[in-house]
Amino acid sequence: MGKRKAGYYTKKKKFVDNRFTNKISASEEPRVSHNLCSASEKKFAANQEEIASAVANESVIKAAEEEVSLTNSRDISVSCDGTWLTRGHSSLQGVCTVIGAKSGKVLHTQVLSVSCKGCDRWKNKTDTVAYSEWWESHECECTINHKGSSGNMEVEGMKQILNRSLATHNVQYVNYIGDGDTKSYKAVSESQPYRSGVTI
Ligand SMILES: [Zn+2]
């Protein structure tokens, strides 16, 4: 069996106007270049990322307000799911997504990663002075933000999202529509991200 190409495409959905719509074809799948060489290319990529992030933030804030308006409440129902860069339970990256039940728009995403190319390069030299110096500048840009197993990424991602819903949108995701994974739901519910008395 051939190795699958990189890209978040488990659901094979197309993401347009902050909404998952049609099935996506293989030729439309997003590509991420891992061969950026020059400083100018890296700077360009960083600027692109910053712009994309700003647009995405604005987009999810608008989507959350639309959801609030449609439901006339700041306690809202959401559909939640996780997807992984590769199939199986050994993926190095995963993404959790929360979608408003009424609007169908994305309100929150959380990327989780257990790997970092920079850290991989230094993994056998962590007891050197050079490593300590490198780590000082790398720490703020390290892509590792998940230490557990890949299988636990969805639960951890959802907990992080729920913990930020009030700060980001001033809403509570009180009804959690998942994919039937009762273990994930139970773990997220038991984390009690909201004030006493608010159950998910
Ligand atoms: Zn790192």
Ligand 1 centre distance from Cα of residue 117 (Å): 7
State in Å: Cα 145 to ligand 1 middle: 9
Give the type of residue at 95.
Answer: V
Write out the residues surrounding ion ligand 1, Cβ under 5 A.
116, 118-119, 142
Give me the residue label for tokens 């061969």. Answer: 35
* CA 90 to centroid of ligand 1, rounded, Å: 19
Q: How far is the CA of 46 from the centre of ligand 1 (A)?
A: 17
Per-residue model confidence as pLDDT tens digits over 134-152: 999 999 999 999 988 887 8
- pTM beyond 0.85: no
pLDDT tens-digit series, residues 65-97: 999 999 999 999 999 888 888 876 788 999 999
* 60 CA distance to ligand 1 middle (Å): 28
Q: What is the whole-number distance in angstroms between the Cα of residue 135 and the centre of ligand 1?
A: 8
Q: Residue 160, class by beta-carbon neighbours within 10 Å (0-12 exposed, 13-18 middle, 19+ buried)?
A: middle
Model confidence pLDDT, tens digit, residues 109-140: 999 999 999 999 999 999 999 999 999 999 99
DSSP character string of 114-142? S--HHHHHHTT-TTSHHHHHHHHHHGGG-
For residues 166 and 162, give the distance between their C-alpha atoms in angstroms, rounded to a whole number.
8
100 CA to centre of ligand 1 in angstroms: 33
151 against 23, higher pLDDT: 151
Alpha carbon of 91 to ligand 1 centroid (Å): 17
